[in-house]
C-alpha cells in the first residue's frame, strides 16, 4: 500500500508541474506545443538521472525510485498529449511540423535519458 501511495503522490506532483509548464508554454497562436515538448525532454533527462543514481551507487532506494521515476516522471511526461498534438498536425495537413516535432521529441528525448545517466557517472 505504501508503494501505491508513493506512486500516487509523485504522479500528482508531476501532473501539476506538467500542467503549469504546458499552460504557459504551449502556443495557441502557432499551435506548437512547446510545453509538452519541454516536459517530455525534461522528464527523459530526470528519469535518466534518477535511474543512473539508482544503478550507480544505490543513492536512491526502491521507494524513492517509485516516487520519483514511476510517480513523478510518469505524471510529468505525457505521451497521450504528444500523440494528440501530432494528430492535430496531421489533420491540419502540417506535415513538416509533425515530422520535426516527432523526430525532435524522439531524438532529443532519448539523448536526454542518456545524458542524465552520463551526468550521474561523471
Side-chain-side CA neighbours of 98 within 13 Å: the count stands at 12
Instruction: Tell me if 74 sits within 8 A of 11, measured CB to CB.
Output: yes
pTM here is 0.81
pLDDT in tens, 81-107: 888 899 989 999 999 999 999 999 999
CA 46 from chain centre, in angstroms, equals 8
Domain boundaries, the chain: 2-121
Any idea which residue has 503549469 for its cell? 20
Average pLDDT value for residue range 66-86: 90
Amino acid at each position: 500500500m505504501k508503494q501505491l501511495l508513493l506512486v500516487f503522490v509523485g504522479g500528482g506532483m508531476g501532473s501539476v508541474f506538467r500542467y503549469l509548464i504546458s499552460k504557459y508554454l504551449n502556443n495557441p497562436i502557432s499551435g506548437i506545443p512547446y510545453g509538452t515538448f519541454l516536459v517530455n525532454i525534461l522528464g527523459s533527462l530526470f528519469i535518466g538521472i534518477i535511474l543512473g543514481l539508482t544503478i550507480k551507487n544505490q543513492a536512491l532506494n526502491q521507494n524513492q525510485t517509485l516516487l520519483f521515476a514511476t510517480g513523478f516522471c510518469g505524471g510529468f511526461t505525457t505521451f497521450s498529449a504528444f500523440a494528440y498534438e501530432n494528430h492535430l498536425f496531421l489533420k491540419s495537413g502540417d506535415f513538416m511540423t509533425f515530422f520535426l516535432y516527432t523526430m525532435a521529441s524522439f531524438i532529443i528525448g532519448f539523448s536526454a535519458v542518456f545524458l542524465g545517466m552520463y551526468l550521474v557517472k561523471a
